[in-house]
Amino acid sequence: MAIELDKVSYIYHINTPFASTALHEISLTIFEGETLGITGDIGSGKSTLLQLTGGLIKPSGGRVLKDGRDLARLSKRELSALHRRVGLVFQHPETQIFAYQVFDEIAFGPRNAGLKPAAVTERVKWALRAVGLPDGFQNRHTAALSAGEQRRVAIAGVLASKPAWILLDEPTAGLDGEGISQVMATLSAFGQQPGQTVVMVSHDLRQLLAISDRIVWLKAGKVWLDLRREEIIDHYQILHESAILPEVLNVMHALNEKGWQLDPAALTPSTLATAIAEHLRGEKQPCKD
């Protein structure tokens, strides 16, 4: 399944004095199995793009296509089949927690999908592990959790349905360092599963660099840059002019300027450290066949 946005525009409160264009004639294809990061300044249209992709809102102009078929022309049944394959994690997902017990919260999706009780229990335990929460956590009360714990329970609730597409809007906002690492490790492991598609919106480029195969930068409702991971460092100058960049990019760029040839995909502290150490030891980069 691929989702294609074809000259999509979105105008909030169209035909009112408050009309504001969030997206303007965006064309973008999201492929099955990729981890796509979407970033941009405040008000650049990141969240709107995510909601259009998930079929939650309809474009004011243009089309959203699923495998070449216009979402607006799908039958109700086809649309709900699509929604079952797409899991959405909104901003502040913990505000939508409704169950008293963590187990019931996470089990909601699997139960609705008709899983047997034993399978539901397994799924809940799996989802808790996936977000880095310990076994036994399913017995806790949702109201007595910290913000970070609630966030992870809410994400676990979406993961528990094992959606083929996961769309996330700022999933780490407000979490502490450890919470961020855990959520990012979850998403990274999740995105590497064959066929799993992850689309994550974040204002924090570091987090997107940790997981993304490709990153799209939005600016004032348009696609400003659309780069595969290994192309990013080649666009250092233009990126540097428009934002404060993660240190990995600054360091890699400075070393490349000095003639080092580091793996352009090594854009996390840990992979860049490996690449630098290899260079210093005079080792050749491993050849890719």
Partner 1 sequence: MQDVSLDIAGGEFLAIMGRNASGKSTLTRLIGGLLLPYAGEVEVDGINTRNPESSRRLRQLVGLMLTGADRQFVSNIVEEDLAFGPENMGLPANQIRQRVDTALKMVAMEEFAKHPPYLLSGGQKARIALAGLLAMNPRYLILDEPFSYMDSRSTVELIGLLQRWREDEQGTLILVTHDQQTVRQADHIAVLQEGRICFNGTPEELLGQEQDKLRQWGIEPPEISLLAEEIDQHLNWPAVGHVSDSGQLVERLWQLN
Binding region for partner 1 (CB under 8 A): 12-13, 18, 20, 39-43, 47, 91-92, 146-149, 170, 173-181, 203-206, 243-244, 246-248, 250-251, 254-255, 258, 260, 269-270, 272-274, 276-281
In the complex, least distance from residue 139 CB atom to partner 1, rounded to whole angstroms: 18
Give 71 or 209: the residue with its C-beta nearer to partner 1.
209
Of 65, 52, 72, whose CA–CA distance to 12 is shortest? 52
Query: By C-beta, is 40 or 62 nearer to partner 1?
Result: 40
> Closer CB to partner 1, residue 91 or residue 101?
91
Tell me how far, at minimum, the Cβ of 33 lies from partner 1, in Å.
Answer: 28
Closest to partner 1 by CB, 122 or 283: 283
CB of 26 to partner 1, least distance (A): 17
Provide the token pair at 193: 């599963």
Radius of gyration of the CA atoms of the chain, in A: 20
Q: Where are the beta strands (DSSP E) in the chain?
A: 3-12, 20-30, 35-40, 61-66, 69-70, 86-89, 165-169, 197-201, 214-219, 222-228
Could you tell me the smallest distance in angstroms from the CB atom of residue 147 to partner 1?
5
CB of residue 284 to partner 1, shortest distance in Å: 15
Taking the complex as a whole, the smallest distance from the CB of residue 111 to partner 1 amounts, in Å, to 29
Rounded distance between C-alpha atoms, residue 187 and residue 197, angstroms: 10
Task: Tell me the two tokens of residue 9.
Answer: 């525009």
Integer Cα distance of 62 and 30 in angstroms = 16
Kindly state the tokens that stand for 286.
């491993």
Nearer to partner 1, 69 or 279 (CB): 279
Residue 215 parent element (H or E): strand 214-219
Nearer to partner 1 by Cβ, of 190 and 217: the residue is: 217
Strands of the sheet containing 165-169, edge to edge, are: 86-89, 165-169, 197-201, 35-40, 214-219, 222-228
